[in-house]
Amino acid sequence: MGVLPAKLCLDPQRRVRLSDVPLISAPPWLGLDRALAGWQARERGGCGALVADAGTALSLTRVSAAGEFAGGRLLAGASLQLQALASGTAALPQLPVPPELPADPWPQATASAMAAGVLRGLAAVIDQAWREARAEDPACRLWLTGGDAPALATLLGVEASPQLALEALVALRPA
């Protein structure tokens, strides 16, 4: 989450802090966005949750069925991976983000091959993490949010939940 503009007048008493999110055992370093989305996913699903927030970074946040922070993983998201490919090689282009998922799983054009590789790679990471989470909790549900969620949802065969963190804010501060 970014820095708020200085001229934005918000009541500091209504600010949501990590300690306001009823996520059990949330470590003090956990990002508020991850805590909000993880708590809301568990609340909405009523079972364990794996939240894949596919933005600049891909953050995977696990919440147990009891509502406890159960760990997570972080890796470069699609935009960072595409940026690294473009800046780290001489011949690969800079692509717009979020990338669109090519219809062809084996594209011949360079830009489409880059998008397909990055998005399919992220989907594989999420799928593996979800399998591992379900090995511990068979009812664990996968939630996708973030700018790359629609393309990843298509690959994973699940529904994207782009408003998960905002729904949590409304639940915690309804007025």
Secondary structure (3-state) at 24: strand
Rg (CA), the chain: 17
pLDDT in tens, 13-52: 778 899 999 999 999 999 999 999 999 999 999 999 999 9
Residue pair 119/104 in contact (Cβ under 8 Å)? The answer is no
The full DSSP string for 69-130 is EEEEEEEE-HHHHHHHHHHHSSSPPPPPSSPPPPSSSS-SSHHHHHHHHHHHHHHHHHHHHH
Q: What is the pLDDT of residues 100-114, one digit of tens each?
A: 899 999 999 999 999
Q: How many CB atoms lie within 10 A of CB 8?
A: 6
161, 152 in Cβ contact below 8 A? no
Q: Judge whether 33 counts as a catalytic residue.
A: yes
- The yes or no reply on domain 28-172 and CATH 1.10.1060.10 is no
Tell me the whole-structure pTM to 2 decimals: 0.90
Catalytic residue among 11, 33, 104, 148: 33
Residue type, 86: A
pLDDT tens across 44-85, in order? 999 999 999 999 999 999 999 999 999 999 999 999 999 999
CB atoms under 10 Å from CB of 25, counted, come to 12
Mean pLDDT in the chain?
92
